[in-house]
A = this chain, B = another copy of it.
């Protein structure tokens, strides 16, 4: 039995990946509806061998939908997810709108698929950096109980959206040819001041909140606690945008309840779903964003015991931001619901 599927935000970077993944994973699609803002309506996209015209989102367009993937930002989700859910759809929402809502499951299927049982029509897909970290941490947490996390991220520009991927390319060309550098996307489209990302680092992702932390940093803290069912987990985060097109990387320091050797961690992660261990320094095997782009799994390497603290561990974790960090995780949630 095929499902009626809607994708809201179909013309964005995550929307395009969702379209590809439905085909690639042979998701049982009956009707497919592509939805977007009025601006993108009328565009035609090839989906599962059919030519589909993008429609403007509306109550009617969300009627008779079984699964609705939302990836058009928090404001759009706040407005339209309840409309879709009220009409019987299960909304899998990639925005921040509902993630910390206690009535909404926040799910990484490898970790807490059982939370899906409690859904009330809306399921939240976690932040990309959170998913990538959580997939790597959960198997270790099960065995040796993580007591503290210190993470610094190296986040690709894909997280800002399709226009940002294009702008990094344009900026880089402009720098190399000595032209004026176009600046409209970084750190965010609505930022007061726009910055050069090419050959630069920007330690500012999403807006600043109290205490000098960004919203991105706060998301990683709160969402990781919710996904792992560890509301008191001690975790501190610094998020940084880097001139990489897609795939996020994370330098993660852990304090565990008991010591694990490097080979024990490798074995734990090799057995874990969704994780690939890429950790053979002598052969220059370690995860790099260029290699991980387009891959489904989260790659872990540079596994080292940290002697500066009891039961310490360092990891280097890389995952495709658009794929496992967003679209793939959403499709996996839908597959679990079937």
Contacts and interface: CB of A to CB of B under 8 A. Distances in A.
A316 B203 contact: yes
A244 to B, nearest CB: 6
How many of chain A's residues touch chain B, expressed as a range?
35 or more
A184 interface: no
A199 B235 CA distance: 29
Interface of A is mostly: mixed
A201 B236 contact: no
A192 interface: yes
Contacts of A305: 211
Nearest to A246: B199
Interface in A165-189: 169, 172-173, 176, 187
A3 interface: no
Contact of A312 (B176, B236, B309): B236
A314 B176 contact: no
Given A172-B176, A176-B173, A305-B211, A253 B240 contact: no
Interface in A128-169: 148-150, 152, 154, 169
Contacts of A268: none
Please give the count of copies of this chain that the complex contains: 2
Given A192-B283, A200-B289, A203-B302, 11 more contacts: A152-B251, A196-B290, A199-B243, A199-B244, A199-B289, A203-B286, A204-B281, A236-B307, A236-B312, A238-B302, A238-B316
Contacts of A284: 187, 191-193, 195, 204
Given A152-B152, A154-B154, A289 B192 contact: no
Nearest to A290: B200
A333 to B, nearest CB: 29
A244 B200 contact: yes
B238 A201 contact: no
Nearest to A253: B150
A150 B251 CA distance: 10
Interface in A192-243: 192-193, 195-196, 199-204, 208, 211-213, 234-236, 238, 240, 242-243
A199 B286 contact: no
